[in-house]
Structure 1
Amino acid sequence: MNQLVGIGTFELKEEVSMNDLMLLPTQDLVKYENEPVVCEAAAPRRFSVPLSDSDLQERILKAIPKKTRNNNKWALGVWVAWTLERNLYQETITESGNAIPSDPNLLSNELLNYWMAHFIQECRRVDTSPYPPNSLVQLASGIQRYLRTDCNRNDVSLFEKDSSTFAFFRKCLDSRMKELTNNGIGTNVKKGRPYINNRRGGHVG
């Protein structure tokens, strides 16, 4: 039979017998259709678009409760106010050779240990009254959270007892808290009702 036969990329016009067709490779007999090629990028996405490091950091910060963020902001505010006043003293430059940075993230762990110890002993309220012991812990915790969360310094562990990195700070915090407690600052002692004898020999508790 005379017909146009497509074999691969060749077209032969000749008489082709059934035996000839049987001898052809199977793939040469497959009918090719012009179907649209679907680009892989245009296919429905299963996963999210790539996120940058700044995107991830922003999501981490957004997940922090508002109360915690406010506490961190308060702690950093007290730190900044303290550094501004502390840097006015000549002793500050004499002790370390440099002014204390308003951003604690600029301090190495060694200097952070040193200056946090001074900060926790010297910080006061706006009216110059001392912070109670619990507030001192909250101040240090706020600064630690800032360094860990905002600055990715997960090695800052101010309260880890087995770590010697911030041992000096912990000793100063402990001594200051004991001093305040001994002075009755931050201690809420509940006073009982007075013991009063009545006429029957009993008492009112």
Structure 2
Amino acid sequence: MARSRHAIPKCEEDITAARKTAVPLKTQQDTQWCVKLWMDWSTHRNSDYDGPKVLLDSQLKKASKHDLSYSMERFVLEVRNKHGNEYSATTLHHIVCGIMRFIRSEQAFIDFFTDPEFVEFRQTLDGEMKRLQSKGIGSQIRKAEVLTPEEEELLWTKGLLGDHSPQALLNTVFFMNGLYFALRNGSEHRNLRLNPPQIRVVETSGKRPYLHYTEDISKNNQGGLKHRKQAKKDVKHYANEDNPSRCYVRLHKLYISKLEYTYM
């Protein structure tokens, strides 16, 4: 039976599901967290304050710009974390962006940062962020420590890296993928594709073999319209012929052979 050149007609549920994948899951979860902060704050304020009421989370998507500005000004000044502490200026801005994403699913024209009707809110947010910054809240930024050559050598000598055990080989693959192909977050490691492979072994007679990594999808490049002109990561790592025991081309081939054996 000949195959049709067209797919089976899609229903509304299929189209809705496709739209949802345009927004990364992490972003969806982050938006939900921001709205949850709003929900907790607005519920508490409306029940504990006799003055004018603020918008509830269920009202955000349909609210007028005037009502949004009124509520947002009070929110950025009053919101606190679960311990009752103020958020940093950066986190506060991040929360505001999350709430705006939520509203934009219904009112695409809403923009807190450019719309003239939100000028007073912007002034309030700007003043609050400057106050938080001047107090030093959130000024201590945690950065990943750079691994020194001596520390890396210690990983090898202690047997944490190498091919002498399945765990050591797995550690080595994870470590070297991060080191040579700049895979940073956990999802980039987990989503590496085996077939067709994103990391290919290239061996040509008379030339030094190498691994060729081609980015599939990353935190900063989701492959949609927004990123269609963004170049994907394309990296080559050549074999370490001076120290074959630590050559990642050899170790990667060994790792893949174990996977192929496992899934045979």
TM-score range relative to shorter protein: 0.5 to 0.7
Q: Given the alignment, which residue of 3, 9, 12 partners 1:49?
A: 9
Aligned to 2:113: 159
Query: 1:50: how far off?
Result: 5.1
Note if contact 1:101-1:107 (Cα within 8 Å) is conserved in structure 2: no
**Structure 1 unmatched ranges of 5 or more:** 1-42, 191-205
Q: Aligned pair in 2 of structure 1 residues 72, 188: CA closer, same or farther (>3 Å)? A: same
Letter in 2 for 1:179: R
Q: Aligned pair in 2 of structure 1 residues 173, 122: CA closer, same or farther (>3 Å)? A: same
Query: 1:105: how far off?
Result: 1.4
Which entry has the higher C-alpha Rg, 1 or 2? 1
Note if contact 2:55-2:67 (Cα within 8 Å) is conserved in structure 1: no
- For 2:39, what is the secondary structure of its paired residue? helix
TM-score by length of 1: 0.60
- For 2:109, what is the secondary structure of its paired residue? coil
**Distance (whole Å) between structure 1 residues aligned to residue 11 and residue 124 of structure 2:** 42
CA offsets 1:79-130 (integer angstroms, 9 cap, x no match): 0000111112334xx32xx553232214222211110111111100110110
Aligned to 1:182: 134
- For 2:66, what is the secondary structure of its paired residue? helix
CA offsets 1:154-200 (integer angstroms, 9 cap, x no match): 1111122xx2121122111101101111111122389xxxxxxxxxx
- For 1:88, what is the secondary structure of its paired residue? helix
Q: Given the alignment, which residue of 123, 126, 134 partners 2:79?
A: 123
RMSD over aligned Cα atoms: 2.4
Number of residue pairs matched by the alignment: 139
Q: Aligned pair in 2 of structure 1 residues 129, 99: CA closer, same or farther (>3 Å)? A: closer
Give percent identity, aligned residues only: 26
Q: Aligned pair in 2 of structure 1 residues 76, 106: CA closer, same or farther (>3 Å)? A: same
Note if contact 1:113-1:168 (Cα within 8 Å) is conserved in structure 2: yes
- For 1:128, what is the secondary structure of its paired residue? coil
Query: 1:55: how far off?
Result: 4.4
More relative contact order, 1 or 2 (CA 8 Å, 6+ apart): 1
* Structure 1 runs of 4+ with >6 Å offset: none
Letter in 2 for 1:62: T
Note if contact 2:55-2:68 (Cα within 8 Å) is conserved in structure 1: no
Q: Given the alignment, which residue of 108, 131, 146 partners 2:64?
A: 108
